[in-house]
Amino acid sequence: MKKLVLYGIGEYGEKVYYNIAGTENIEFCLDRNAGRTFHGKAVYSLEEKKEELKDCFIVIAVEGKACKEIKNNLRNIGLEEYRHFVEWRAFNKKLMIIYGNCHCAALREYFNSNPYFQKEYYVLWQNVLEDVFPDCIWKSCDLLVTQDIRKDNSLHMPSSDEAERMVKDGCTKIRIPNLYASHALFPQLKSDRSAEENLIRHIGMDRVDMEHIADQKTIKTIYRFMAPPDSYIDKMHESGVCIKEIADSIRNEDIFDNIEDTFASGIDKLKQREENCSIKIAYYIEKNYKNSLMFYDPGHPTNKVICEMGRNILKLLDIPVCETGGRSYIMDLEEVFIYGCVKRALGLTFEQNFIRIFSPQFTLSGRALTLEDYIEQYIVWNYE
């Protein structure tokens, strides 16, 4: 049995002590404020104790940048996460890894808002856009939820099959579908111009070198102001049509056709993708799409869809559903309007008076957008 060490004697150190003092014996503490005691335990610096820490298990009782720094310091002396140290919220809990895109970040928030789940599991999101976790983390995984990621994908990340082989024996594995809206919901987004071209066109790579901006959050915000390109607004603006007339035609004219067949085809394709998955979601979209918004844009489902997926996962795990309303990750950052002809063809009954209500930072005005607001800002971003 390894000696238990507490790293951090501040606010979170108090919380750890409260939760484990009755059942666990803390051998000593580490902190930058060494040379004192914490609940009767001696406090040392990392330098003083680094030679004996391989025989210890360290609970890191700090958060944010300080936690990342401590982890790096521990790795630099040869220690591995989950084998030698762990964040305080993960201590004595099973590890869940959710592997996939931003949908999985929303799922993580869903699970973290459930006190029954939170008591049993600690959740890590393996983002497909970030470096793969080290083996020591994968080998500690008790529950893997992975999107159905194909082999040889464009991101050069492990496939679902590869991820499932990376975890330890006995790990519970749940596979979920990649969710994309049918093109019938957003036919206006079929454009010859990419969002990247919009960005270059507006900013000009000779004016701003996006790769060397230090603030990655700023890059993402700028990139998403008016992405993706709208083929109809482009055509109408280039023909000299005013904003009000564009908005009226989007609401009232039959601009696109073949919508019902395209939507049905999209649902069928989703059902086919779900054949390899533990979780099915097409039935829910098919049942509810007329009465509720299911997608903010082709690549971002609404929280209603994410919650249904979460409920199905909880059912497999035999954990009660408890939706406390604490979810903060909402994917309306690239939300666009559904055209009137689409609403009529599919019989959609819900209203969409504003978009990007939860993510107004991804607009030029900094507030939620009406259709006229969206068209105006789209034109400013792409043409002025």
- Parse the chain into domains and list their residue ranges: 3-90, 94-176, 187-257+353-383
Is-above-0.85 flag for pTM?
yes
Rounded average pLDDT over 212-238: 73
The SS3 call for residue 369 is strand
Nearest C-alpha neighbor of 221 from the set 230, 213, 231, 229: 213
Per-residue pLDDT tens for 327-345?
678 889 899 999 999 999 9
pLDDT surpassing 60 at residue 287: yes
Question: What value does the mean pLDDT of the chain take?
Answer: 90
Do the domains 94-176 and 3-90 match in fold? yes
Q: Cα(315)–Cα(322) distance, rounded to whole angstroms?
A: 12
Q: What is the assigned CATH class of domain 94-176?
A: alpha beta
pLDDT at position 12: 94
pLDDT at position 200: 63
Nearest C-alpha neighbor of 134 from the set 166, 157, 178: 166
pLDDT at position 221: 64
Please report, to the nearest 10 degrees, the dihedral formed by the alpha carbons of residues 312, 314, 317, 318 taken in order: -100
Rounded average pLDDT over 46-70: 94
Q: Name the maximum alpha-carbon separation found in the chain.
A: 78
pLDDT at position 143: 98
Q: What is the assigned CATH class of domain 3-90?
A: alpha beta
Instruction: Classify each residue of 349-371 as buried b or exposed e, where b means 16 or more C-beta atoms within 10 Å of its C-beta.
Output: eeeeebbbebbbebbeeeebbeb
Phi-psi category of residue 176: left, alpha or beta, with phi > 0 → left and psi -120 to 50 → alpha: beta
**156 CB-near residues (< 8 Å, 6+ apart):** none
Nearest C-alpha neighbor of 346 from the set 177, 187, 180, 233: 187
pLDDT surpassing 70 at residue 131: yes
**239 CB-near residues (< 8 Å, 6+ apart):** none
Per DSSP (E only), the strands in the chain are 3-7, 26-30, 37-38, 41-44, 56-60, 85-87, 94-100, 121-127, 143-147, 172-176, 295-297, 300-301
